[in-house]
Amino acid sequence: MPTYNYECSACGHAFEVFHSMTAPVKRKCPSCGKQKLERLIGTGAGVIFKGSGFYQTDYRSSSYEAGAKADTAASTPAAGEGGCGSPVCGTSGCQAAADKAATGAGTTKKKSSRKSTGKA
């Protein structure tokens, strides 16, 4: 059941009511008694699913998330610690890796195990 916000346009009294969606809209102000009550559009509330069957990691504390973020930042390689061994590595446009690929350095050709039959 949702919570609805109401405000009286005559006296300015504002309050919340917790009732079902099918319940009729309230019209009479409990403060002044006039029929000037209006239901306001609210933002609603976030839904949190609790109980068995839901992941516990979905609702981690902020201290846990901060620690995980620090661990991730510490495990990422700094400039010069990339996979190609070049001191300029660490960026997506690593020139040393591109040079290796162009010259074929570090690659070995594998011999084919298929026997040639001499037929074309």
The verdict on residue 69 lying in a domain is no
The verdict on residue 30 lying in a domain is yes
Q: What is the pLDDT of residues 3-16, one digit of tens each?
A: 889 999 999 999 99
Q: What is the pLDDT of residues 65-109, one digit of tens each?
A: 788 888 877 766 555 555 555 555 555 556 665 666 666 655 555
The verdict on residue 18 lying in a domain is yes
Q: Which residues form the domain of 19?
A: 3-40
Cβ neighbours, 10 Å, residue 97: 19
Which residues lie below 8 Å from residue 54, measured CB to CB, with a gap of 6+?
none
Residues of the chain with pLDDT > 90, as a percent, come to 22
Q: Are 19 and 4 in contact (CB under 8 A)?
A: yes
Considering its fold, how many domains does the chain have in total?
1
